Amino acid sequence: MKERKVSIKRKTKETDVKVFLNLDGSGICKIESGIGFFDHLLTQFAVHGRLDLKVMAKGDLNVDDHHTVEDVGITLGKAFYKAIGDKKGIRRYGNALIPMDDALILFALDISGRPYLNFNVKFRREKVADLSIEMISEFFRAFSLNAKVTLHISKLFGENDHHTAEAIFKAFGRALREAVEREDNGIIPSTKGVL
């Protein structure tokens, strides 16, 4: 079977991002974005999705965290789009219902070729540690647009924003792992014959 691993770089005047992604990995990761809590969330994603992931990002954190987080989302989305290839034999759909203490997150994903984000999560705080909480939805918007996937993310319960954020990224990993699993039939899972 074709290896589904890729390295992508994105350099702008605001950021310098390098991503390595292996969809058939085991959860090995190294994340360095300069934003500690964001690194923690991406680690949760990789470990729970059993994806090998390396992210090296330098951004204008003296301004704020927006450009760095968004550009990591863009670069990771592009890496995913390239790694998934022609989509033959994949399951296409993935979902996860993940609890973390008080938080309960529903995450559904479709590798459809059509970017769409429904982010139905309300947070209580503006920041968790060094991450602006509004950047979580911006990350997923950037990923969805560049990976060309549909994402539905809903908080069913949750009081603690740290728990909610972690549950989202754990669910992201589990849903993505399910959607990229190979069914060994070589068929594109669509009545159109293309995704």
pTM of the predicted structure, to 2 decimals: 0.96
What is the full DSSP assignment across 102-129? TEEEEEEEE--S--EEEEE---S-SEET
CATH number of the domain at 60, please: 3.30.230.40
How high is the pLDDT of residue 189?
84
Residue 14: count other Cβ atoms within 10 Å of its Cβ.
14
Residue 59 within a domain: yes
The mean predicted confidence, pLDDT, of the chain is 96
Residue 191 within a domain: no
In which residue ranges of the chain is pLDDT below 70? 1
Q: What is the residue range of 114's domain?
A: 5-180
Element (H, E) at 56: strand 52-59
Residue 192 within a domain: no
Residue 132 within a domain: yes
Contacts of residue 40, defined as CB under 8 A and 6 or more positions apart, other chains included, come to: 166
Question: How far is it, in rounded angstroms, from Cα 94 to Cα 91?
Answer: 8
pLDDT digits (tens, 9 = 90+) for 55-74: 999 999 999 999 999 999 99
Total structural domains within the chain: 1
Residue 189 within a domain: no
pLDDT digits (tens, 9 = 90+) for 97-122: 999 999 999 999 999 999 999 999 99
The SS3 assignment for 9 reads strand
Residue 142 within a domain: yes
Sheet strands side by side (includes 116-120): 93-100, 103-110, 150-157, 116-120
